[in-house]
Amino acid sequence: VRTTQQWQGLDRSHHMHPFTDPRDLNKKGTRVITRAEGVYIWDSEGNKILDGMAGLWCVAVGYGRQELIDAANEQLKTLPYYNSFFQTSTPSQIELSHVLSELTPPGLNRFFFTNSGSEANDTVIRLARYYWKLRGQPTKRTFIGRKFGYHGSTVATSSLSGMAPMHDQDHELLPHFAHIVHPHWYTQGGDLSREEFGLQAARELEKKILELGADNVAAFIGEPCQGAGGGIDPPSTYWPEIQRICKKYDVLLVADEVICGFGRTGEWFGSHTYGIEPDFMPMAKGLSSGYLPIGAVAIHDRIFEVLSEGGKMIHHGFTYSGHPAACAVALANIALIKKEGLVERVKSDIAPYFRATLQQMADAHPIVGELRGVGLIGAVQLVSDKANRTVLPPTHEAPIKAREFAIQNNLIMRPAGLQSLVVAPPLVITRTQVDELVDKMKRSLDQTAQLFGLA
């Protein structure tokens, strides 16, 4: 086994997230993760680290689950690969569509499989525009997303995302993409109550549609609870108003479930949690708990009817769409979530405990302004002045330093939008492990406060 130092010399291609600082990563050296079990990962130097991010919001059932490993093995032996291009399909893909249609909100019964969340959202862009073309409204092309929304890293989905650093970095926003405000009461709400602010933030969509002209708007996209943007869970008034506006102006609604799906919010999908009835529902991550790459788009029957009118071919597909082994792993993953009652466990047991424990820490901590999120998404807002809701300026390095302290304390937590820090552990985390997570998070925040003289 190479040491981290040795790996560092070899590895010159770090994947950079908008909220990490490349110079910092290079300086500190990348941990090489060599194995994992339950909610823990180990690095090449033998450190046991609590994975507070479930990989990258994916490992719902925890690491090392034999059922998923067996499913992949069996499928690779029987049929490692086949595609859907020659009027062909494969059993695990067909079965996965059936199983998913029982979990998704009513009407979302058609599935297109991808390899990732980005491809799922890219697929939505193509299908939604094609839908409007078939309906005789080819000018309806614009997608409206939100600031601090994250929908992927392809050229199109980075324009769909509302992450300013991505837009600044390599290209301007593509044409036919627009963004409205993120529903973040803490920084945007002023003197309004949360509910009043929820309505106001949603009505920004109406303003944007009127500005662009409803005839030019294809769809609105939002994560039920914004993940990478900083665990932004909208006020209860937000989604009903968004839906009313979409219906009024004939704008399709896309709920990006890549993070929220598969139990993380305490329901199978974030759309259930917030009462959203989407036209398209992209998903990935928790679909296979990350054991093999797979994403999917759930498509509403009424949309699919138009797309497939007269048995029309849709010219869209990837070599690995519906990969048999990835579908088999997804099936085993869903079966395990059901067998262990993990969605119910999140809702009525572990998420309430996780939130209460985090809340206690947040209330007492001088540099934490609020706890956000839903279910097993927990985000803490870093502030310089708790009483006046003053968040740290965007260039302040506290979140990055906090992440560094966390990894020294053997915890993975992640800096996110709005100068916040997120934890989103596997759904199987125990109460003792939640205590360990919050303890290590607190210690890392204490060290950060001390380093910057913020306390």
Q: Does residue number 122 form part of the binding site for ligand PMP (CB under 6 A)?
A: no
Q: Cβ 416 to ligand PMP, closest distance in Å? A: 10
Q: Which amino acid is residue 257, in one-letter code?
A: E
What is the footprint of ligand PMP within residues 267-286 (CB under 6 A)? 284
Residue 300 interacts with ligand PMP (CB under 6 A): yes or no: no
Distance CA 77, CA 71 (A): 10
Alpha carbon separation from 237 to 73, 153, 195, 197 (Å, rounded): 47, 30, 6, 8
Position among 253, 259, 400, 434 found at the interface with ligand PMP (CB under 6 A): 259
Q: Which is nearer to ligand PMP, 258 or 368 (CB)?
A: 258
Per CB under 6 A, the list member of 201, 254, 258, 296 interacting with ligand PMP is 258
Part of the chain binding ligand PMP (CB under 6 A), chosen from 113-121, 124-132, 398-406, 445-453: 113-121
Q: How far apart are CA 22 and CA 11, in angstroms?
A: 13
Dist. CA 278–CA 280, nearest whole Å: 5
Q: What are phi and psi of 412, to 5 degrees?
A: -95, 120
Which one of residues 256, 279, 370, 404 is an interface residue with ligand PMP (CB under 6 A)? 256
Site for ligand PMP in 151-170 (CB under 6 A): 151-152
Question: Does residue 128 belong to the site contacting ligand PMP (CB under 6 A)?
Answer: no
Minimum separation from the CB atom of position 333 to ligand PMP (A): 15
Strand, helix or coil at 373?
A: coil
Q: Which stretch binds ligand PMP (CB under 6 A): 105-113, 145-153, 245-253, 381-389?
A: 145-153
Residues 48-107 that bind ligand PMP (CB under 6 A): none
| β-strand partners of 44 | none
**Interface with ligand PMP, residue 253, by CB under 6 A:** no
Size of site (CB under 6 A) for ligand PMP: 14
Closest CB to ligand PMP among 173 and 451? 173
Q: What is the 3-state secondary structure (H, E, C) of 134-198?
A: HCCCCCCCEEEEECCCCCCCCHHHHHHCCCHHHHHHHCCCCCCEEEECCCCHHHHCCCCCHHHHH
Q: Where are the alpha helices (DSSP H) in 48-88?
A: 54-57, 66-78
Task: Using CB under 6 A, pick the residue from 117, 261, 378, 426 that binds ligand PMP.
Answer: 117
3-state secondary structure (DSSP) of residue 278 = coil
H/E element holding 172? none
Decide: is 223 part of the binding site for ligand PMP (CB under 6 A): yes
Nearer to ligand PMP (CB atom), residue 149 or residue 189: 149
Are 154 and 119 spatial neighbours (Cβ–Cβ below 8 Å)? yes
Token pair for residue 227? 């993940």
Token pair of 158 as six digits: 């980075």
Helix (H) or strand (E) holding 27, with range, is helix 22-28
- Please tell me whether residue 227 binds ligand PMP under the rule CB under 6 A: yes
C-alpha 89/C-alpha 444 separation (Å) is 50
Q: Residues 92, 93, 97, 118: which binds ligand PMP (CB under 6 A)? A: 118
Footprint of ligand PMP on this chain (CB under 6 A)? 116-118, 121, 150-152, 223, 227-228, 256, 258-259, 284
